[in-house]
Structure 1
């Protein structure tokens, strides 16, 4: 199988299709994880190369970005047997629970412009890690934490960090995400703090979470940027809450009693 190197996909206003590029930068402006996130998963090739992030939402199911399970040449769904996952460790090379998948389910409406950029990963057996609950769609200005193992420089050739990176930022106004087909119902706009921070290559599929009610809640999956370098403009996440119904139809996950949307809560008070 040809090694696939798509990971935080770049899309600019002039581009009609996703640019599938070699990993080049991490969660820029982030820092080493300050806690263990039991729901966090690293999607890797069989040789251990970092590809994408994912979030455990049920004992046998992960959610990630649609382009993370898509072949760069054919745009078909990848063979899950070519990948491995490590769940619940801040170190992508050891610890946590190793897992393998037997099925990828990409959203039926996915396309190369990254509409409906969400997918499910079915694991061959349940894991013991605690899944993350899906929260309500966060309003503008909500404090979020982004997680990922994207490589650590803005140029090609850097390895992905071994230690999980985290970045505290906020949801940005929709006006900051100016791609013509940005949809504020299906997507989240992530503040780049004046061009200094952002998720980037290697972080695709990884979560955006909010801290509420003494735990983390999943609100986004890293999808794509609007510029190269990634920090130049706000980032775009798939809104996981929007797709909760779709997730429920394909998995044993069930929509819980709705929790109020959270805003103004300090990121960092949740538990993995």
Structure 2
């Protein structure tokens, strides 16, 4: 079952980015506690036993957006049955508060592979009722200018192999261009947005599938880290603007 740690195709990626001497090996480090209602779009994707595995974002009354690797079987593109998961919405605590909801269907981007196109849609069994703490987030349509602040949030580990927080964390990273991403980790691709940070900051295991936002819009879906959580390498996020057509086609938003 998916654990929020992206290890598939590791040898392939090692070859792709051998010049950087680092490889993607996972999914907030250096973050701070979120306030109630600060991230009403943020969702905890959980196994049916209630254990947190990934993040997700509310994009409509019926659909959530997450990472493909959070829900697929092995290294393929087929998802686990929707009944194996649940989501907690409307709470900054991953174990209490808000509502626990069941999924009706999981749809994975068929182009997912080698850390790219790492997006999936979660259709809810019943439509959400929006409140102050449960809101959809607008999808970005444009690139984030290089050097601009991007906000990430989630319940990922506080450091590599560290504890998972009960309260949602958030941090501020910096957007890079495709060329800058290529130079930094050898993975410059139009479907990716790389987010730079200082050491001991960034995403970690359990943040996968969670949101990256810019000016209140969803710009990225957490995918992988390079060289361990909180390294000096940028983190890789699926670029929402690039995947917007696929999202609109399949979720109607």
By how many angstroms is 1:76 displaced?
A: 2.9
Q: CA separation in 1, counterparts of 2:197 and 2:72?
A: 27
Q: CA separation in 1, counterparts of 2:170 and 2:149?
A: 13
- Residue 8 of structure 1 contacts residue 199 of structure 1 at CA under 8 Å; is this kept in 2? no
Q: Where do 1:16-165 residues align within 5 Å?
A: 27-36=28-37, 37-72=39-74, 76-111=78-113, 113-128=114-129, 129-135=134-140, 136-155=142-161, 158-165=162-169
Structure 1: state its 5+ residue gaps.
Answer: 254-272
Q: Report the CA distance shift for 1:4/1:222 in structure 2 as closer, same or farther (over 3 A).
A: closer
Q: Report the CA distance shift for 1:187/1:123 in structure 2 as closer, same or farther (over 3 A).
A: same
Q: Secondary structure at the match of 2:245?
A: helix
Q: Where do 1:207-218 residues align within 5 Å?
A: 207-211=211-215, 216-218=216-218
How far does the alpha carbon of each residue in 1:201-224 deviate from its partner, in whole angstroms, 9 at most, with x for none? 11100000112xxxx211100011
Comparing 75-84 with 116-125, which one deviates more in the overlay? 75-84
TM-score (ref. length: structure 1): 0.79
Q: Report the CA distance shift for 1:176/1:251 in structure 2 as closer, same or farther (over 3 A).
A: closer
How far does the alpha carbon of each residue in 1:36-77 deviate from its partner, in whole angstroms, 9 at most, with x for none? 221110001112211100000000100011111112366531
- Residue 55 of structure 2 contacts residue 155 of structure 2 at CA under 8 Å; is this kept in 1? yes
Match of 1:5 in 2: 3
Comparing 67-76 with 99-108, which one deviates more in the overlay? 67-76
Q: Secondary structure at the match of 2:249?
A: helix
By how many angstroms is 1:153 displaced?
A: 3.5
Q: Report the CA distance shift for 1:206/1:84 in structure 2 as closer, same or farther (over 3 A).
A: same
- Residue 194 of structure 2 contacts residue 235 of structure 2 at CA under 8 Å; is this kept in 1? yes
Structure 2: state its 5+ residue gaps.
Answer: 17-22
Q: Report the CA distance shift for 1:56/1:81 in structure 2 as closer, same or farther (over 3 A).
A: same
Match of 2:197 in 1: 192
Match of 2:172 in 1: 168
Runs of 4+ in structure 1 over 4 Å off = 8-13
Q: CA separation in 2, counterparts of 1:161 and 1:117?
A: 24
Match of 1:222 in 2: 222
Match of 1:256 in 2: none
Aligned residues: 238
Comparing 122-131 with 168-177, which one deviates more in the overlay? 168-177
How far does the alpha carbon of each residue in 1:145-178 deviate from its partner, in whole angstroms, 9 at most, with x for none? 10110122322xx442110000012213442454
How far does the alpha carbon of each residue in 1:206-246 deviate from its partner, in whole angstroms, 9 at most, with x for none? 000112xxxx2111000112222442311011001111111
Match of 1:246 in 2: 246
By how many angstroms is 1:252 displaced?
A: 2.6
How far does the alpha carbon of each residue in 1:113-172 deviate from its partner, in whole angstroms, 9 at most, with x for none? 1221111000001111321101232121111110110122322xx442110000012213
